Amino acid sequence: MTVILAGGEPFHLGGGETGCLLLHGFTATPKEMRLLGEDLADHGYAVLAPRLFGHATHPDDLARARWRDWLASAADGYSLLAGSVRRTFLIGMSLGGALALLLSRQVECAGMVLLSTPFALPSDRRLQMLRPILRPLSLVWRHAPKGPPRWFDPEAGRAHLTYPVRPLRAVVELDKVLAAMRRELPHVRAPALLVHSRDDRFVPPHHMTSIHGALGSTWKEIHWIEGSSHGITQDAKRGEVFALARDFLGRVEAAAG
C-alpha cells in the first residue's frame, strides 16, 4: 500500500471564477506550492495542486514513473479544476513549469507562470558523461544522493518536503520530458510569465532566457529575483514571487475582459 508522506498531500483551496493549477517540481511534493496556493486563495482564486505520479511516497515509486505519467497527473488536475471555473492558469515550479508548457498545448489555458523552470538537464560534466548510459546504469545504481541544500531562509529549508535522493531511472524521464518541452516551445501561444532567481545554483539562470527565446507566445515576460535559492516558492523572496504572479494573472484577466 502506498502511503503519502505527511504534508505531501494534494490540496484544493479557495473558490471563484478563475482557477490556478499548481504543479510541483521533481522529487518534491505539493507542499512546495502550498504558501503560493494560500496566497492566491486569499485573493479570490480557486487553487488545485495535484501530486505528480511517484512523488511524496517513496523514491522507488518515482523510479517506476514515466514522464507521461507526470503529464497525466497534471491533466487530471486540470480536468478537476477547469470544470468549476471560467478560466484556468497553469503555474509550475521547476519540472512543474515544463509540464505546464506541455499541458498548455492540450488544454484551454488562460496563461502560465513558470518558476525556476529548466531548459535541459544541468550541464554537470559528470552527468553529461553518464547521460548515454543512465538507463542501464539505473539498474545497478538506483539512487543518486543529493548535495547539501542551499537556502537563504533556513526555516524554509527545514520545511521543504522532498526525497533525499534522485532515482536515476527518473532522471532519464526528466531528460525526456525536457526534450518534449523544447520541441513544443515554439508552438506555445498562451501568455507567460517566467520567474527565476539569479542565485539559483540548481537550474542556472540562463535556462530562463533560453526558454523565453524559444517560446512562441507573443505575450511573454521575464523577471529576475535575487536572494533566493531554486525553491523560490518557499525561500526568502517568496512574497515577491507571489506578488509577481498575482499581478500577471490580474493583467491577463483584465486584457481578456
* For the chain, domain boundaries: 12-252
Task: Give Cβ neighbours of residue 183 (< 8 Å, ≥ 6 apart).
Answer: none
CATH number of 12-252: 3.40.50.1820
Summarised one tens digit per residue, pLDDT across range 86-98 is: 999 999 999 999 9
Write out the DSSP string of 117-173.
Answer: --SSS---HHHHHHGGGHHHHTTT--EEE------SSHHHHHH----SEEEHHHHHH
Q: What is the pTM for the complete model shown? A: 0.93
Grid coordinates standing for 52?
505528480
Cell 520545511, located at residue: 159
Summarised one tens digit per residue, pLDDT across range 41-70 is: 999 999 999 999 999 999 999 999 999 999
Which neighbouring-strand residues pair with 167?
Answer: 143
Which neighbouring-strand residues pair with 233?
Answer: none
Q: Name the average pLDDT for the chain.
A: 93
**Cβ atoms 230, 202 nearer than 8 A:** yes
